[in-house]
């Protein structure tokens, strides 16, 4: 089966939204929960099959800490790894030989892209955009706007409660 047919069969079987481009490129949208969607390019090249997924724009702050997190995370990823472009935007990328493209392998790689992009998204935001999140929270509170999609970051804006003697954490 050709790489083209394997890609289409895998994407159709998973019920994923995608656009096929004439040159063997597929633009795939993976649905998420924390990161609402992850856009992925699947590209059949002359000697390899490439996967490229945008994860997050360049962090506003704590770059070294964000990049350290990504490098450590790379050790646990299958088939893809984190990288940054010339602007500092964060991507997941991978390459496999054309003969290694099977429905099972493509499904595993797409699953890894989704797990990483969606699972790591809030951590990347907490480290690299904490000041912006706090500013957005304060602005919404001042205007009576919804905080629903910021609830995962509530701990960044609430002051820590003082330790009470005799509590369960008192050892």
Which tokens in the block code for residue 37?
A: 């969607």
pLDDT of residue 75: 97
pLDDT of residue 160: 59
Describe the chain by its helix, strand, coil percentages, rounded to 5: 45, 25, 30
pLDDT of residue 129: 96
Q: How far apart are CA 29 and CA 38, in angstroms?
A: 6
Q: How far apart are CA 108 and CA 79, in angstroms?
A: 8
Per-residue confidence at 169, pLDDT binned at 50, 70, 90?
low
Question: 3-119 is classed in which CATH architecture?
Answer: 2-Layer Sandwich (3.30)
Burial class (CB in 10 A: 0-12, 13-18, 19+), 123: middle
Show the CA angle centred on residue 41, arms to residues 93 and 75, nearest 5°.
20
User: For 41-64, how does the pLDDT look when each residue is reduced to its tens digit (9 = 90+)?
Assistant: 999 998 999 999 999 999 999 999
Average pLDDT of the residues in 70-95: 97
Q: Which residue has the tokens 């990347």?
A: 124
Q: How far apart are CA 105 and CA 108, in angstroms?
A: 5
pLDDT of residue 171: 45
pLDDT of residue 23: 81
Average pLDDT of the residues in 83-110: 96
pTM of the model: 0.86
Whether residue 97 contacts residue 48, with contact meaning beta carbons closer than 8 Å, is answered with yes
Which tokens in the block code for residue 120?
A: 């790591």
């Amino acid at each position: 089966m050709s790489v083209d047919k394997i890609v289409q069969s895998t994407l159709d079987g998973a019920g994923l939204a995608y656009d096929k481009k004439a040159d063997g490129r597929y633009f795939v949208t993976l649905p998420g929960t924390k990161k609402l969607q992850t856009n992925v390019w699947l590209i059949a090249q002359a000697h390899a099959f490439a996967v490229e997924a945008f994860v997050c724009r360049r962090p506003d702050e704590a770059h070294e800490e964000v990049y350290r997190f990504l490098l450590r995370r790379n050790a646990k990823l299958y088939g893809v790894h984190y990288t940054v472009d010339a602007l500092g935007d964060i991507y997941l990328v991978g390459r496999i030989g054309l003969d290694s493209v099977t429905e099972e392998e493509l499904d595993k790689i797409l699953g890894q892209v989704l797990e990483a992009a969606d699972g790591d998204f809030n951590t990347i935001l907490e480290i690299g955009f904490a000041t912006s999140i706090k500013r957005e929270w304060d602005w919404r509170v001042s205007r009576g706007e919804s905080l629903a999609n910021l609830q995962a970051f509530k701990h960044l804006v609430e002051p820590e409660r003082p330790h009470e003697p005799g509590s369960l954490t008192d050892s």
